[in-house]
Structure 1
């Protein structure tokens, strides 16, 4: 029996790239939807993926990308028009008769959430489930480990891990790596029959406090790193001061809301899980391993007077930057506003749909499925 062709959207992105590469490691045919050729597309090509260059917001391009596809990984960018992306994907998947989709959702996904982006994810999840002939596996991801790496240069050169995460001693997140999130998507794509209709939440192995993360950075960097709880205004100033390709104004306005959820402890609810081990077939990476890999790939984090001076100049630039007015941004973008919104833990619906697993096997009894067995089930 021929192996199913799998479309991976956002294949140059953080989880999309890892998903495509891991599928190729299992010998499955992959069509990687990318925006342009760059070093990431080279990795995909070297791994044997078929490259499809196009615009994911274009129904015409998505139709062509879906031709002959049996399964797909749907990963909408955290950017404006996410709902449009997902509607285009859903329409093309319907027309192509796609059998199974793994969709990247959000742990925060809720009907009346303050974040427009999150409400759009909630609606998108409904869209994915509307076609009864297509089975769906949902991957509910919280705060990625990758988010902490945004401030790694300041930690390396100034000894400060600065984010608006609240009390440094409170354990509020079990951060997953991009590769671990991808492993859960890959497990579900390889064996749809076992994972159809299921929702999984990949996490790291343990809950961590901001102080824990700062300490891990310090061990990897070989210097003392201290956590500093900064204001939302300071975070917004830093995001604005970054190169313009990093974050759109609209995305910045939503990150403020996500930081609020972090301080409320929403990402700590029912964490950690064992889904990376049980579904992804791998032991989840700890934060020090994730940081160590990033440091090994970045020569700009090595100590030096010039680099320290550059980091200080960057810090002064942040201080001199005017914080963006997120309310004005949302108004200028015509963001849909609700008369009454609810953060996750204020929502009875969210609480009811985010209960812990009813039966969790003791970790000592869980054995990851062998890649060979999972590959057999996908054939």
Structure 2
């Protein structure tokens, strides 16, 4: 039995599908099982990080677990508690979803948010693997409403690039690590095959859609006001802006061979992802 937390999210839902396709027993944990759209083969159970008893029950009888914590300054203790609950239930293999740049002092406060969870899995006594993906290709799905409305897409990172990764590759790496101790003790930084700026991604999207995709630069002041108006805390907003400044300064222009090392093939490109998801930007 393998337990997947964050089972309805971008990565978790794909890991559930991949494991189900392999006929592996998989237990998908979500706060709202009744509305979860997951494979029929998966056992879907309720679990809430704030209700640690529900998580301990969800981990019962499992050999391995995929841990998707909540990112932010308010969730540090919950991340540690999630690891503790898995270990208390006897889980012997942990795969932790973290983020690129974790621990880099140049990233500031946001670079510390995954550190307690990472340290907890290292100290757990279980076999562990940490995944640090770069920016997801799927993040640009947020552009879809703007494109359908004929509006430009926002850019808060200037000409800074990132090794944009297809989330399907992240899910495949997670699945591989969950099934074997071969990757125990490894920290994988997962990227796509090339560094891309927002302008590069817009151009790739335009090439597939056959239409111009305009880009408009957004100032830090505008971005901060938008995040605060959306209900984010000042600390979260400032951490998010620090992350964007990190990218803008070229600090996240990183490409690794870790996806190929684990999967034995080259990572998908952003253009590959766009071709497979073009309908999301037009329907």
After TM superposition, the score normalised by the length of structure 1 is 0.68
Aligned match for 1:173, one of 154, 162, 176:
162
Aligned match for 2:177, one of 188, 192, 208:
188
2: CA distance between counterparts of 1:107 and 1:254?
Answer: 14
Residue pairs, 1:339-350, within 5 angstroms: none
Partner of 1:101: 94
Partner of 1:148: 140
Aligned length: 283
Partner of 1:263: 248
Runs of at least 5 residues in structure 1 that lack an aligned partner in the other structure: 303-379
* 8 Å CA contact retained: 2:70, 2:79: no
> How far apart are residue 15 of structure 1 and its match?
1.1
Partner of 1:199: 187
Find out whether 1:217 has 2:205 as its counterpart.
Answer: yes
> How far apart are residue 112 of structure 1 and its match?
5.0
Structure 2 residue matching 1:158: 3-state secondary structure: coil
> How far apart are residue 22 of structure 1 and its match?
1.2
1: CA distance between counterparts of 2:266 and 2:101?
Answer: 24
* 8 Å CA contact retained: 2:4, 2:28: yes
2: CA distance between counterparts of 1:96 and 1:282?
Answer: 35
> How far apart are residue 240 of structure 1 and its match?
5.3
> How far apart are residue 63 of structure 1 and its match?
1.0
* 8 Å CA contact retained: 2:5, 2:68: yes
Partner of 1:69: 62
Structure 2 residue matching 1:109: 3-state secondary structure: coil
Q: 1:201 to 1:103 in 2, by over 3 A?
A: same
Partner of 1:81: 74
Q: 1:287 to 1:248 in 2, by over 3 A?
A: farther
After TM superposition, the score normalised by the length of structure 2 is 0.89
Find out whether 1:18 has 2:11 as its counterpart.
Answer: no
Of 137-146 and 280-289, deviating more is 280-289
CA RMSD of aligned residues (A): 2.4
> How far apart are residue 238 of structure 1 and its match?
4.3
Per-residue deviation, residues 119-176 of structure 1 (Å, max 9, x unmatched): 13112211111133x1111101222222233223323433523211112xx5x21211
> How far apart are residue 197 of structure 1 and its match?
0.4
Displaced runs of 4+ in structure 1, greater than 6 A?
none
Per-residue deviation, residues 314-343 of structure 1 (Å, max 9, x unmatched): xxxxxxxxxxxxxxxxxxxxxxxxxxxxxx
> How far apart are residue 283 of structure 1 and its match?
4.0
**Bigger Rg over Cα:** 1
